[in-house]
Chains A and B, each alone.
Chain A
Amino acid sequence: MSSSSTAPVGQQQLDPATPLPKKTERPHPLTPLIRGWVVLVAIVLTVGRQLIPDGSENTGLPPVRWIILGVVGVCALAALAGLFTWWFTRFVIDDEELRIETGAIFRSSKRIAFERIQTVDLIQPLAARIFGLAELRIDVGSGDNQTKLRYLSRADATRLRDYLVARAHGEQADANKASSASLLTDSSATDRVIATVAPQRLVGAFLTSTEFLMSLLFLIGIYAVTGIFGVALYALPAVIPYAIGLISLLGRHVLAQFNYTLAESGKGLRVTRGLTNLTSQSIPIDRVQGLRIIQPILWRTFGWFRIDVDVLGIKTSHGEKDSGGSTSILQPVASRDQVRAVLALVLPGVDLDRLTLHPSPRRSAWLRLFDFWTLRYGWDDDVVISQRGWLIRTREVVPHEKTQSVRIEQGPLQRRLRLTNVHIDTTPGPVDLVAKQIDALVARELATSQLDRAREAGRRAAERRSRMASARPDHLAGPAEPAILARFGIGRQDLLGAGNEARVFALPDQTHVLRIFPVRDCNDRAQAEEARLDGLLKGFEHRPVGLELPLIVERGHLDGQDFRIDRRIRGTDLSAVLRATPSTVSRRELLLTYLDAAYVLRHLPVPTPQWARLIAEPRVFGSLADLLMDQIHRATMNWDLLSAQVGDLEQPLGELKAALDQRRCAPALVHADFCPPNVYGVEGRVIGVGDFSAHAVVADPLMDIAGAIAFIELESYPDAAADARWLVGMAAERLGDAEARWLEVYRRFYGFYYSMDPTLIDWCAAQIRSTGPAVG
C-alpha cells in the first residue's frame, strides 16, 4: 500500500438533496496555508536569528531588503506549490469505497473500502481550530500509516466521520445527517457519553497528584540545599531537565486531557480530549491487553482514580509536532462510579471488589521496607490482579487470555528469604503485572496455574468468537424470507445450509435450489456482479469436464430481498462426508478424487486469456504477481489481528511477491474457494463443485490444488490435519517436486487473502508461518 497521502480535503459543495454516491470534493482553500504555517515560522525564526546583531560575528549579511525579498519569494513559492496541490486533490465517496486522488502529473488514487475502516479519529490541531477546520484520520488496521484527510470544515468533518463509521459497520448511512462537533468537543451522533472531567477537577487532581508533588518537592529541596551552601546558581543547569520534565508532565496530564470525554461508540470506546490539539481517539475493546488503576495518596480523600490501558496497536508517537498523539491514559481522573462503569465495558462480568487478594509474607519487609504491607495479588476466572504501593496505589489487571508468558525471577537475597517475583507478561505498554515478593511455593503454583487459566480463557474466547460467527446465518434471514419460501411452496425445514452470503433451500423438484440473500444494497454493482457470474457459469456449459457445476436459472426479487434459483448439484458436501467417514482408507480414496476435481477445473473456459479478476471489479492484470497482490490488498481489513499473531507482515508479503514474480505458467480458471464445503460427493467420489464466487480469478491453476489441501485443515473431523499432510505428499508425487513447491507459496497467499474472515485468523497465521512441505 502506498504511504499515507496527506491529501487536503475540500469544502462541501453539495446540497442535501443530492443522492448519496459519487461525491467529489475539494480541499478547503486554507489548507496549504495551515500546513505551511509551521514552515513559515521556522523560516522566520531562522532568518531572524541571523539578523539579530551579534557584535562578535562578521557575517557579511546581504542587505535587509534582499532577505525580506528572499523570504517573500520562498513563501510565495510554497504557497503556489500548496495551491497547485490543492487544485488537483479531490476525494470521492463511491458506493463501496472512499477514493483520494492527488497529483497533477503523476496521478495517484488511494482507495479505502468502507468495510476495511477500523477507526476514524477527528483531530483539531491548534492552527486548524483557529479557522474552524479539522483533520480526519482513518485507520484501516493494516498496521502502518493512517490516512489523513486535511482539512475539512468542522461540520463536514464530523458528518464525514459519522458516515464512514456507519458504512464501516455495514449500515446504510445518510451523509447529510448533522451531528455536533464544537470548538472544544467532538461527539458522534451514535455515541453514548460515559464520563467527562471538568477542567477544575483535572487541574486540582494534577496539583495533588504524587508525581507532581514529588517533582516539585525535589526541585524545592535542591534549591534549599544549594541555597544554604550558596551554590544555587550552579545547580541551575542540573535542575533544568527536571523543570522540563515537570512541564511535560503538566502537558501530558492537563493540557492533553483537557475537556476529557469518554463515550461508548460502536466498536469500542472513544476518548475525546485536548486543549491545543483536540484529539478523538478510538479504543476497540478487544484490543485492550491490560489495565492499570492508579490512585495517588492525596486523591484518596476525593475518591479519584486514574486508569491507564495497554492497547494493542496504539503507537506511542506520531511523526508530527502538531498531531495529537494517542496516549495510553484511559481516564485521567475518575470517581469510583465512573471507574466501575468503564470496567464494566472493558472487562465485562468482572467484579474487582469481590476478588480475594493475598498479601505477601511479612519477611518481604527485609527487601521492600517502604511498601511491603501493600503488596497484594489475586485472581478469579477472568483476570489476574496485582497491587502495590501507598504513595501511589497501583493496581494492575490482566485478563487471562491476554497472557503472553509467565516468568519467575528470584535474586540471591530473595532466595535466602524464600521469596520470588512472578511476572505476567503482556504486550508492551504501561501495564506490567508483577506479583512481588511472594512465597516461593505459592509462586510456583501461581505460575503454573496461570498458564492453565490462560489456556482455558483463550479457549472460551475462541468459542465465543465462533459462536458469534455461526450465529450469523440466522441473522441473514431477512424479513422477506417467509414470503419467498411461500412462493415456492417450501418452508424453513428445507434449509440445506447457510453460508456467509446466502441461505440455501431445497426446492420440491430436487433438481434446483433456492438461494435467498440477506437485505443488501440493491445497487448496480451487485447486479453487475451477478450478471458476470451468470455469464461465467453459462460459459462452463460449453465445455464439460466431467464435474457437475452450478448454473443460475433464475434471479428474482421480492419485498426487498434478492433470491436466485440455481441448478442443484447431486450429492452431499464433502465436509459432511468426511465427517461421516471414519475409515481412513475410504476417506483418502475420496480425497484423491477431490484432488482430481481441483486439477480438472483449469480446463473450464474463461472470458479472457489474461491474468484477471472476473466477478467483483473485473480487471485485467499484466502479471500473476500483480493480480494476486491486488487481491491481497483488497483483503486487509483484519490485518491488525493477523500481525498480532504473525508479527511483521511486510517481510512475508515481500517474499510472496518475489516468489510470484518467478512463477511461469499459463493463465486458467481458478475457483479460489475450493474447499470441502463447496465440493460435492456421491458414493465415495467427488462429482461436483459449486459456489463459484467473487473469489474466482484467471490465475495459476495450481492455486486450487493448494487451496484444496490447505482448506482441509479447517475441517473439524479428528484426522483432518493428518489427511492434509498426506495430501501434500500425494500432490508432490503427482506434480513433481518442482511444481509442488508452489503449493507452499499459494498457501501463504491464502493466509493473507482469507484473513478477510476474522474467524479464520488463526488458520491464516498458520499458513503464513508455514515453513515448508511437511510430507507425511
Chain B
Amino acid sequence: MDALFAPPAETWRPISPRWKSLRRLTTVIGVPVLFTIPAVLVGVLAQLWWVAALLWAVALVIVAIRVVLIGRTYRSWGYALRTDDLYITHGLFFRSLVAVPYGRMQAVEVNSGPLERAFGLATVQLITASPASNASIVGLAPEEAAQLRDQLTNLGESQASGL
C-alpha cells in the first residue's frame, strides 16, 4: 500500500472476513442474474442468440475478475480512529480515503440488510452536513459496529463544533 493510503496510525483496522463470503455470493448470483434478463430478452424477442451468448460471456468475465480479486478488495477496506478524526479507506481500482472530524458527525447509523444479517455483518454510516462525505464502513461484525457507533457518538458529542 503506497504512502497516499497508508494508515494514519500503525495499521488499518480490517473489516470482517465474512464480507468476502457475502461478496462472493452477491457476485456469483447477482451479476449473472443481472445479465440474464437482457440476454433472454434479446434472445427471445430478437432471436439474436449470439448477442445473448456474448452478454453471458461478459457476465462470466466480470464474475471471474471479481472473485479473483476478492481477497485484495477485502484488504483494501480499512478504518482508523485517531484523536480527532475517523479515517476510512476502500477501493481497489478507484481508491478513496475519507477523513471525518468527530465534531462534524451529525449522526451515526448502523444498518443491516437481510443478506448482511444472514452473514452476520452490518454497515456503519456517518452522516455529516455534506452528503458528499459518503463515509461508511461495510462488512463489520454487529458488535463491532455497535461499539464503533457508541464510540463515535461519544467522541462526536465531546467535540461538537458549530457550523
Contacts and interface: CB of A to CB of B under 8 A. Distances in A.
B4 A441 contact: yes
Interface residues of chain B: helix, strand, loop or mixed (majority): mixed
A646 interface: yes
Interface string A739-776: 00000000000000000000001100110011100100
A401 interface: yes
A346 interface: no
A59 interface: no
A409 B94 contact: yes
Contacts of B157: 766, 769-770
A469 interface: no
Contact of B3 (A441, A645, A721): A441
Interface residues of A, number: 49
A550 to B, nearest CB: 34
A289 B129 CA distance: 11
A404 B4 contact: no
A443 interface: yes
Contacts of B2: 440
Interface stretch (A318-326, A423-431, A656-664): A423-431
A420 B4 contact: yes
B17 to A, nearest CB: 26
Interface stretch (B32-40, B54-62, B95-103, B136-144): B95-103
Contacts of B3: 440-441, 444
Interface string B114-141: 0000000000000111111111000000
A428 B156 contact: no
Contact of A407 (B93, B96, B106, B158): B96
B160 A766 contact: yes
Given A441-B4, A641-B162, A408 B128 contact: no
Interface in A426-453: 426-428, 432, 440-441, 443-444, 447-448, 451
A268 interface: no
A404 B84 contact: no
A635 interface: no
B161 interface: yes
B65 interface: no
Nearest to A407: B98
Contacts of B154: 774
Given A425-B133, A443-B4, A455-B84, A405 B99 contact: yes
B98 A427 contact: no
A405 to B, nearest CB: 4
A289 B101 CA distance: 17
A425 B128 contact: yes
A412 interface: yes
Nearest to B161: A458
B96 A409 contact: yes
B163 interface: yes
A411 B94 contact: yes
A114 B67 CA distance: 64
Given A641-B162, A769-B157, A405 B4 contact: no
Given A427-B130, A428-B130, A647-B107, A447 B97 contact: yes
B8 interface: yes
Nearest to B153: A771
B161 A401 contact: yes
Interface in A262-293: 289
A423, A443, A462 pick with most chain B CB within 10 angstroms: A423
Contacts of B106: 645-647
Nearest to A765: B160
B126 to A, nearest CB: 9
Main secondary structure of the interface of A (DSSP, over half): helix
Nearest to A421: B96
Interface in A399-418: 401-412, 415
Interface in B41-75: none
Nearest to B134: A407
A645 B135 CA distance: 17
Contacts of A410: 4-5, 94-96
Interface in A670-708: none
B103 A404 contact: no
Given A447-B99, A448-B99, A454-B101, A423 B132 contact: yes
* Residue of A406, A412, A441 most packed against chain B (CB within 10 A): A406
Contacts of A289: 163
A734 B97 CA distance: 48
A645 B94 contact: no
A425 B94 contact: no
Nearest to A439: B4
B163 A644 contact: yes
Contacts of B135: 405
B97 A426 contact: no
Interface string B78-119: 000000110000000111111111011011000000000000
A461 B162 contact: yes
A312 interface: yes
B133 to A, nearest CB: 4
B163 A425 contact: no
Contacts of B6: 444
Contacts of A455: 84, 101, 103
A443 B99 CA distance: 13
B94 A405 contact: no
A564 B46 CA distance: 93
A404 B128 contact: yes
Contacts of A428: 130-132
Contacts of B150: 771
Given A461-B162, A770-B157, A408 B97 contact: yes
Nearest to A461: B162
Contacts of B156: 769
A451 B84 contact: yes
12 contacts: A404-B129, A405-B100, A409-B96, A410-B94, A412-B94, A440-B2, A440-B4, A451-B85, A455-B101, A462-B161, A644-B163, A647-B127
The 6 closest A-B pairs by CB, nearest first: A644-B163, A404-B130, A425-B130, A766-B157, A405-B133, A408-B97
Given A312-B163, A405-B128, 18 more contacts: A402-B163, A404-B128, A405-B99, A407-B98, A407-B132, A408-B5, A415-B95, A423-B132, A425-B133, A428-B132, A444-B4, A455-B103, A458-B103, A461-B162, A462-B161, A647-B127, A721-B158, A766-B158
Interface of B: 2-6, 8, 84-85, 93-101, 103-104, 106-107, 127-135, 150, 153-154, 156-158, 160-163
